[in-house]
Structure 1
């Protein structure tokens, strides 16, 4: 049975979302508890609590420079449609939903041509009645990606990755809080050199370590998607959106809406309050929302190998 989430747990999840490798001392100061108590809380959250700490790797490392979100209306039952969409290679995330849309999904491809091809494959799935898409221009907040514009080559324009870097990224992707000693064992470097490499990867934006909750949530947690249509420049609105604690992820782009994201909250009252805050933001014209019911496929299911990367420099 998963532990119920109290306010201190919520604070810890938010802090780990921002920095999944934050020290227990830092976390203890934040929540006002002893280090040992804070460590026990974090370990409970990582165990029965159901969160994971993962390394969110910049999509350019995978050669993925075009990302976007699609909403799907269906003829008849949604589950068979969602299952077929989840089988497509371009698809990284699929859920069934309550609301106007039966299914939502995320596409990640090399370029716009490949994105259009993937979208056509979604449209061709039997049972799909209509599809609308938004292509991302900038990720503002997401457990899986470092925030920033989606432009090629991204942080790779300033940093070259070698076999040790790839091994570190592969390990951080599975365990974002792995110790430097553990990371050194897969990198082939000393613990000191490994620490320097990891800090370089974090500071350059190649990877961000954060708390992943998504649709494997803590009990009493609601996951609600939303789409914004905004007036004028999106950046001022986006900064206000991601400042809200309940916002789990948010991206802006071009398509049927110009901003899309997810709310994670402990009660329906909190969901409603967050939606009301979004509606009240200057520059927001409309807000549409839907409840995520079940994850058919999540990004972690893809387990994409890093381009040219061995699991370990010793393999």
Structure 2
């Protein structure tokens, strides 16, 4: 489990994924060497990774949440193929290991992700059913972190560490940003010299472009870390059907629940999807029957237990041999 300093460091990275260790150390009251050492240990032992991600809407991409049902003997191989795709994130084994869910990032010109799936993972490979749900609006997730992973710092510490834009020159992502964004997807804490080598730009140009993209909200930094280290033992995807007139009200209510790490409106027979991270099955049951059950506008609910998360927020992997276990 994490100690107080581990939790404080993770919370600090949620506030600003590129904050210098010296600034984090000053706020936490420890040395910069201690912060750097803890960060390296968490990367090795807890799967901690800071990743820079382009806002999909500003980047001109649509996102699809795809559900695949497969024969038990094929599910692991299909999931592994999805993990290796450069256009996927949040690949999960659910519902007894015979269902796979994944987010596919598609250019807006693509009406659906079916062509992407059928090109590389044909139905004859063991897939028995496919459904695709366009993510219309995200209420919780992306730049908004899971609150239970960011409760270690007081208000004064949070104010000292929160990212503040350093420029008013707001520009949207451009084709020339591909190398920069690709490098940040792998490691959001790469130094300006490393990013300069990856892009062929000068360090000053890298710094300016980073500041512009962050000021525009076109680039944000996410923190990947094993949710089990926060006491999570029960994970589930929740597929909800809500009357359209009540959708916004219910989604905003769900976005305020500490048990949830993700809430989005989707197309399909269910129009809201959420991810629950709870201490144990009894805690999940209490959440479903009491807190979620109190929302009378929810017509139907399907609960899909998450067995494993094989790929998290970033489409880029740095170690394909290490399939992530037990993360949010």
Q: TM-score, normalised by structure 1?
A: 0.69
* Aligned partners of 1:91 and 1:107 also within 8 Å: yes
What secondary structure sits across from 1:87 in the alignment?
helix
What secondary structure sits across from 2:45 in the alignment?
coil
Aligned to 1:153: none
CA drift at 1:229 = 2.0
1:164-313 matched pairs, under 5 angstroms: 165-213=177-225, 218=229, 220-222=231-233, 223-231=235-243, 232-268=245-281, 270-275=283-288, 276-281=290-295, 283-295=297-309, 300=314
Aligned residues: 284
Which of 60, 67, 75 is residue 63 of structure 2 equivalent to? 67
1:74-113 matched pairs, under 5 angstroms: 74=70, 76-77=71-72, 79-84=73-78, 87=81, 92-98=89-95, 102-110=99-107, 111-113=109-111
CA drift at 1:57 = 1.9
Aligned to 1:139: 138
Cα distance change on mapping 1:278 and 1:14 into 2, 3 Å? farther
Unaligned runs of 5+ in 1: 148-156, 304-315
Aligned to 2:29: 34
* Aligned partners of 2:52 and 2:187 also within 8 Å: yes
Q: Distance in 1 between matches of 2:226 and 2:242?
A: 25
Asked whether 1:115 is paired with 2:113, we answer yes
Q: Distance in 2 between matches of 1:239 and 1:5?
A: 30
* Aligned partners of 1:66 and 1:115 also within 8 Å: no
Cα distance change on mapping 1:160 and 1:220 into 2, 3 Å? closer
* Aligned partners of 2:55 and 2:218 also within 8 Å: yes
Aligned to 2:44: 47
Q: Distance in 1 between matches of 2:98 and 2:53?
A: 28
Cα distance change on mapping 1:43 and 1:119 into 2, 3 Å? closer
CA drift at 1:41 = 4.1
1:6-45 matched pairs, under 5 angstroms: 6=3, 9-10=6-7, 12-24=9-21, 33-36=28-31, 40-45=37-42
CA drift at 1:84 = 3.2
CA drift at 1:171 = 1.9
Q: Distance in 2 between matches of 1:141 and 1:9?
A: 24
Q: Distance in 2 between matches of 1:174 and 1:166?
A: 13
CA drift at 1:80 = 0.3
Cα distance change on mapping 1:82 and 1:301 into 2, 3 Å? farther
Q: TM-score, normalised by structure 2?
A: 0.67
* Aligned partners of 1:135 and 1:254 also within 8 Å: yes
Q: Distance in 1 between matches of 2:298 and 2:11?
A: 25
CA drift at 1:115 = 2.5
Cα distance change on mapping 1:92 and 1:135 into 2, 3 Å? same
